[in-house]
Amino acid sequence: MLNSVHVIGHLGKDPVIETSRKGTTYAFLSLANNRGWKDRDGNRQEQTTWVDVVAFGNLAQALDNLSKGDLIAVDGRLNNKTKDGKVSGLELVAESIDFLKTKKQKGRPQEEGDEDIAF
């Protein structure tokens, strides 16, 4: 069975990066994917789909350079989120993330050519 997802969107907030007691680094992202269209009357409509993303290890550590509003592409797989032993929704487990358009990189303003960085 194939479980592969590719999503492009803007970060809804800064990534939350933490390290577990066992030393595993993980990051949580909230990604907004917008879709626009015109209705029958010609009025512009827009729908935002929010995607919860989790990343682990070196990939999670690399996300420290991202901030709210940055445009990224995430490739990964869907996984059930659980709470109190029950499935509470879906999350995208990131296998790779491309930084498409970022406001900053390592504390400095973005320069031309910085936007195409992949981890």
Domain count for the chain, please give it: 1
Does some domain include residue 17?
yes
CB-based burial, 93-109: b 16+ in 10 Å, e otherwise: ebeebebbebeeeeeee
Does some domain include residue 21?
yes
Q: Which domain holds residue 14?
A: 5-37+45-109
pLDDT in tens, 31-69: 999 899 999 999 999 999 999 999 999 999 999 989 999
Does some domain include residue 15?
yes
pLDDT in tens, 94-113: 999 999 998 865 455 444 44
> For residue 66, what is the domain's CATH number?
2.40.50.140
Own/partner long-range contacts of 104-110 (Cβ < 8 Å, ≥24 apart) = 104/65, 104/67, 105/65, 106/65
CB-based burial, 22-57: b 16+ in 10 Å, e otherwise: eeebbbbbbbeeeeeeeeeeeeeeeeeeebebbbee
What is the pTM for the complete model shown?
0.79
Does some domain include residue 114?
no
